[in-house]
Structure 1
Amino acid sequence: MTLSTVKTDKASAAVPAVARPAAPAHIIKDDAEALSIARKLASDFAVDAAKRDRERIWPQAELDAFSQSGLWSINVPKAFGGPELSYATLAKVIEIISAADSSIGQVAQNHLGVVAAIRTVSDIEQQKLLFAEVLKGTRFGNAFSEFGSKRAADFETRFVDAGDDVIVNGQKFYSTGALLAHLVPIVALDDEGRAWYAIADRAAPGLTVIDDWSSFGQRTTLSGTVIIDNVKVPKTHLVPGYKGYDKPTADGAIFQIIQVAVDTGIAQAAIDETVRFVRTKSRAWVDSGVDNAWDDPYTIQAIGSLTLRLHAAQALLEKAGLAIDRAVASPTAEAVAEAQIVTAEAKILSTEIAIEATNKLFELAGTRSTLAEHGLDRLWRNARTHTLHDPVRWKYSILGKYFLNGENPPLHAWS
């Protein structure tokens, strides 16, 4: 895709923008309250999760409840009126929500990552302006990735100076959350090739968001094509994202830890569903010599193994969150590398347990668990789709280079 071939023929399929919240979002007081709210929301979100996946129903009411709950502002600094909670808590919140509906958990990812980036790279006035929006309940979507580029970090979307504004042109895909966002951060390059977040109003003229996400998993992440045709963005909303990666910062690890939490959430859901099904619906195997499926020694061993592996991933997830806290407070090269390394370790384990647990679900629960009425296939589809982000084969490379040769991880949003 080049700027001269941006397609606008699908503009008639544009999804209208949604209204901003009528009342400010709740401000969470502490980590315990955040976890309590997440558990209550997750209980509600789980009720129709299978139906939303099956019929591809947008989680609009659920998303409104999620962002208004205060959970979308938990990493806003205290100096600007936010809770500034631990990234270990933020990750646990995403895990809890994702266990109920991993699409909803993923929708929050780029919003929280952009909030972190604003803290890192914006000046005080821009922070005041944008953090105030977040505390009101304004949701950031994303228009980062481009479908036809050679590498994920290659961008052809650009902006030009227009006085108090910039004018942005390009086309994006994998735009999680953009359909129901209030503001859409667009990754665009300046004339020096540096990447900025041009945060456009979702209703801005020339900004077209199309509901064409067709993946077999994570079906309701509110993603799709974003067409950017001479979109005007005020310079007050032009965030120098590149500054988060031209020196050591925790920004990349923050984007990554949220990915990890989505996957541990899926794994937790898969194990919970396996236990529930084995305890209530599965039959004992003919050669087992037992009357109940839950007494099958091979099933018992498998559940123990899965749970152990999940707990290991969750322990690393918490460790990564605390390492990120330290890197945010003091972004030395050593602290940032530690945060990246522990997060990479967690990413490997979370990917492996999400795929293993969603496979084992059907093996242990039996043929009956594949019936459409149970909707359990969504867990495998979601795990297989979401774990394709940031391939773990490259995480192993990062770890090996660090522990063998003392080489710090690269500084970008995928590390």
Structure 2
Amino acid sequence: MTQEVPSTDPAVYNAYKEKWAVAPTTAPEWLTRAREVADVLATDAALRDQDNKSPVAEVTLLKHSGLLKILGPTKYGGGAQSWDVACKVVREVARGDGSIGMLLGYHLLWSTTANVVGTPEQADRLHERILTNNYFVGAAVNPRDDDLKITREGDEIIFNGFKGFTTGGAVSDLMVLEGVLEGTELHVFALVETRQPGLSFLHNWNNIGLRLTESGSVRISDVRAPWADALGYDAATQQPLPEILLIQYPSILLPTLQLIFCNFYLGIARGALETGKDYTTRTTRPWPYGGGETASTATDEFYILERYGKWLAHLRAAEALADRAGEELATLYARHAVDHAGLTAAERGELAEWVASVKVVATDVGLEVSSGVFEVTGARATSRKVGLDRFWRDIRTHTLHDPVAYKQRELGRYLLLGEYPAPSWYT
């Protein structure tokens, strides 16, 4: 049973349900909608970050915007957009609020998991359920925790255990659970209803960054799902389908997730740059003790112009790299939308290295911009009211998710030895 905790009020966003009643239909329209959402979130992002309330209202805003449906099939009200567009949308939302950009990105992955590891029938059934109800999807799949234990009972599987991280879980409608079937080494994914006695959220996420992601822990006690919902399994035999178990296609789930990470890093960095620019142009004063001729405004200061110019160039380069990786991802999904078995290890490996390249660059640029922005805004910009610190805290928090040094080593082996990384929970 989920305890009562302070949460944001969905009523503050009531007007957007009508304003955004008509869903976008083209990629430019989806990006425009994402910018609108980011602008709404940015108005009070610093205050909401400090309050650290459960993001019920923010998830409601995402539902009003239609962005939760961007990848789904049109027959159920989805946007039928490709992953490169979805990644840009995540980046835009993160510009306004990194936590909500992260929630959106995770939802897009978990709500389409059946496309990758499930059967066509399972994917279609889940699309209908998620899209027609405008559901938000969370997950308890952190692989470094002990796996959930799954037992069989007739036509059902039963999950038990504990997960330390469950991004978006406590504010979700459905949860992806994953564990190991008792007596085997077989992993099982299934989506279950969030609001049930067997899921007990601890609401213990109080970290320095991404404070509105509800990424805390959950206890899972006797949560049941029918074998028909075990993704990629035959309900009659209760065994994984060979055509899913023995192919590369399910392994693209992880490069997809890693590219989502990269895009919300870059969105947060762009938010830091824009917030810093606004503060510098309106508030920052020139330094009068530098010797020689004193600049009349902060925007005449050589070092300020130089820093902003450098960051803009590097951020644009990182965004271009992310867009290229997004195109590679979308192309691979489109090429193998029907012929999953045709995906080769080389195709998967090339995609993973495009994504690894983005991860390295997005981490470097994001940390540099979000920490360096204080140097061009001044001491008064450290006020909590300004909230510039949230950008660095958000990027710093998530870039520790998995060490970027391993991505750099991976790229080195790819370049020098021609090796592709073995598919894993982090590659």
- Common fold by TM > 0.5: yes
User: Paired residue for 1:378?
Assistant: 390
Q: Displacement of 1:85 after TM fit?
A: 1.4
Q: Deviations along 1:165-203, whole A, 9 cap, x unmatched?
A: 211101012211011100111121113222222222112
User: Paired residue for 1:218?
Assistant: 210
User: Paired residue for 1:171?
Assistant: 162
Q: Report the AA paired with residue 58 of structure 2.
A: E
User: Paired residue for 2:14?
Assistant: none
User: Paired residue for 1:270?
Assistant: 272
Corresponding position: 1:193 with 2:185:
yes
User: Paired residue for 1:310?
Assistant: 315
Taking a change above 3 Å as real, the CA distance of residues 363 and 62 of structure 1, as seen in their structure-2 partners, is same
Taking a change above 3 Å as real, the CA distance of residues 254 and 67 of structure 1, as seen in their structure-2 partners, is farther
Aligned with residue 90 of structure 2, among 75, 79, 94? 94
Aligned with residue 151 of structure 2, among 160, 180, 185? 160
**8 Å CA contact retained: 2:2, 2:201:** no
Taking a change above 3 Å as real, the CA distance of residues 274 and 81 of structure 1, as seen in their structure-2 partners, is closer
**8 Å CA contact retained: 2:112, 2:123:** no
User: Paired residue for 1:369?
Assistant: 381
User: Paired residue for 1:83?
Assistant: 79
Q: Displacement of 1:245 after TM fit?
A: 9.1
Q: Deviations along 1:28-55, whole A, 9 cap, x unmatched?
A: 4221221111111111111121111011
Aligned with residue 117 of structure 2, among 116, 121, 126? 121
Taking a change above 3 Å as real, the CA distance of residues 78 and 412 of structure 1, as seen in their structure-2 partners, is farther
Taking a change above 3 Å as real, the CA distance of residues 15 and 142 of structure 1, as seen in their structure-2 partners, is farther
Q: Displacement of 1:67 after TM fit?
A: 2.8
3-state secondary structure, aligned to 1:239:
coil
Q: Displacement of 1:77 after TM fit?
A: 4.4
**8 Å CA contact retained: 1:160, 1:166:** yes
**8 Å CA contact retained: 2:93, 2:100:** yes
Taking a change above 3 Å as real, the CA distance of residues 12 and 342 of structure 1, as seen in their structure-2 partners, is closer
Q: Displacement of 1:327 after TM fit?
A: 1.6
Q: Deviations along 1:86-110, whole A, 9 cap, x unmatched?
A: 2221111011100100001111233
Which structure 1 residue ranges, 5 or more long, are not aligned? Answer: 1-10, 146-151
**8 Å CA contact retained: 1:195, 1:240:** no
> Which one is further off, 255-264 or 26-35?
26-35
How far apart in 1 are the matches of 2:229 and 2:306?
54
Corresponding position: 1:332 with 2:332:
no
**8 Å CA contact retained: 2:78, 2:131:** yes
Which structure 2 residue ranges, 5 or more long, are not aligned? Answer: 11-16, 234-239, 337-342
User: Paired residue for 1:257?
Assistant: 259
Q: Report the AA paired with residue 325 of structure 1.
A: A
Q: Displacement of 1:14 after TM fit?
A: 6.5
**8 Å CA contact retained: 2:150, 2:159:** yes
Taking a change above 3 Å as real, the CA distance of residues 197 and 386 of structure 1, as seen in their structure-2 partners, is same
How far apart in 2 are the matches of 1:16 and 1:298?
44
Taking a change above 3 Å as real, the CA distance of residues 203 and 12 of structure 1, as seen in their structure-2 partners, is closer
Aligned with residue 387 of structure 1, among 388, 396, 399? 399
How far apart in 1 are the matches of 2:255 and 2:199?
30
Q: Displacement of 1:16 after TM fit?
A: 11
Corresponding position: 1:231 with 2:243:
no
User: Paired residue for 1:247?
Assistant: 248
**8 Å CA contact retained: 1:188, 1:196:** yes
How far apart in 2 are the matches of 1:12 and 1:352?
38
Q: Displacement of 1:57 after TM fit?
A: 2.6
User: Paired residue for 1:347?
Assistant: 359
User: Paired residue for 1:295?
Assistant: 300
Taking a change above 3 Å as real, the CA distance of residues 245 and 363 of structure 1, as seen in their structure-2 partners, is farther
Taking a change above 3 Å as real, the CA distance of residues 244 and 78 of structure 1, as seen in their structure-2 partners, is farther
Q: Displacement of 1:27 after TM fit?
A: 5.4
TM-score, structure 1 normalization:
0.89
How far apart in 1 are the matches of 2:326 and 2:192?
30
Q: Report the AA paired with residue 256 of structure 2.
A: I
Two-structure CA RMSD over aligned residues (Å): 2.7
Q: Deviations along 1:296-333, whole A, 9 cap, x unmatched?
A: 11111111111111111101110011100122123332
1:15-30 superposed matches below 5 A: 28-30=24-26
**8 Å CA contact retained: 2:147, 2:178:** no
Q: Report the AA paired with residue 142 of structure 1.
A: A
How far apart in 1 are the matches of 2:304 and 2:191?
50
How far apart in 1 are the matches of 2:30 and 2:245?
27
**8 Å CA contact retained: 1:26, 1:68:** no
How far apart in 1 are the matches of 2:325 and 2:372?
27
3-state secondary structure, aligned to 1:142:
strand
Corresponding position: 1:139 with 2:136:
yes
Aligned with residue 358 of structure 1, among 356, 362, 370? 370
**8 Å CA contact retained: 2:276, 2:388:** no
Aligned with residue 107 of structure 1, among 97, 103, 106? 103
Aligned with residue 397 of structure 1, among 397, 409, 415? 409
TM-score, structure 2 normalization:
0.86
Q: Deviations along 1:272-304, whole A, 9 cap, x unmatched?
A: 122111111111112162111111111111111
User: Paired residue for 2:174?
Assistant: 183
3-state secondary structure, aligned to 1:75:
coil
Q: Deviations along 1:374-398, whole A, 9 cap, x unmatched?
A: 1211112111112112221011011
